[in-house]
A and B are shown apart, each in its own frame.
Chain A
Amino acid sequence: MFNKTLTLAAAGLAAALVVAGCATAPSSAELDQQALAMLKASFRDQGIAKVDRLNQDLGQKACSSDKPPAEALAKQIEAESLASIKWPEGGRYLGDWREGEKLPQNGRGMTWTDASADPKANGANCYNCHEIDKKEISYGTIGPSLWNYGKLRGVKDVADPASAAIVQYTWGKLWNSKAYAACSNMPRFGHMKLLNEEQLRHVMALLLDPKSPVNQ
């Protein structure tokens, strides 16, 4: 009799625990899964902006929380990004800074109201986040100032071998910013086909050409 009561009580307690278990908050991993399902269910295609834009690559996924990724993972993202950089054909890094001035002013491209995803339809968006030429006072502050970018880095002649390292770094940064900082806020202009090589060369010239207004 006593035993039976005890058994019943134990069963009751177990049942209560199970119910309580069901009612406890979902784990962090479960919430991650639920958030992904919610995103997939909430968005639809519109124009050039298709739902496949929600499919994250390694870096996007690793940089999607309020905490940075583990160091080993960050290093892996940076190494893979560096390896993915396409260097300019024939080592032609610089174009025309006059053309390069137009692209940073232009913040258009890649939204669902843009007709084409061709890089030719895109601006470089630079002034949204960076100061570049002091004459332009309407600039954002998410990225560092690029005023005197080449001058401050000692670029007097872009063809001089002494300038090679900074010229190559700048191309790499524009092509795939994640090569140098896994969770950089900056878009990967070459890697994601936001700008073509010619456009990148013009932006390069604006930043590095000693004759560019940026370096006066």
Chain B
Amino acid sequence: MANPAANRATLPITTPLIEARAVRKTYSFGAVPVEVLTGADLSVQPGEWVAVLGSSGSGKSTLMHLLGGLDRPDINGGEILFDGKPISVTHGKRLDGYRNRDIGFVFQFYHLLPELSVFENAMLPGMVGNWMTGHSARRATARESAGALLESFGLGHRLAHRPGQLSGGERQRVAIARALVNSPRVLLADEPTGNLDTVTGAGILDLLAERHAKGLTLVIVTHDPAVAAHADRIVKLDNGRVQ
């Protein structure tokens, strides 16, 4: 397991890799608007592991979706920056490319495609993209990368299996391999151990720590302080703000 204290001590102060500035997000449930984020600020340095800790309904997942470009803040509701550039005003292909190349998502319920094999699921992000921009070369790289990741995660013998034939821990490892296949700079994980038993969950955290040790920036949202404790830094989300 990585040593969070040691990592914290060695982090240089640089431009944040990913940043949320005074982000507000409101959902409408029928006629009733519910403000989930009320001005959340978060700054994550390159190579940092940040845990966002919060209770259920505190807006953790919403913050993660906003950081990952799946959702947008309210109008005039702050901004999300990646490498110093705002992504919340980015549209179309650039935003798709951001999600494909710069970000990797890991979800609580794995979210693997049941029709595809383990290997196909893992290399799926490598198959997504614009063929006009050297996509085929990237696909070949993704194929190699997916094989190597699954092998290193102990799933080399499961490549042709379908997700339905795997255990929960194996599925989550496939999901992590998928998130890493395009070598993203940030991995966003939403309760990655939330659906696993303690031992399996610990294995997943070890795996994440291992990637973090190799320089991967991690943002994990969780309600579990034990999971958050693995991070370099813990921030709490309460009443729609980062405390």
Q: Do A and B bind each other?
A: no
Give me the interface of B with A, judged by CB distance under 8 Å: none
Give me the interface of A with B, judged by CB distance under 8 Å: none
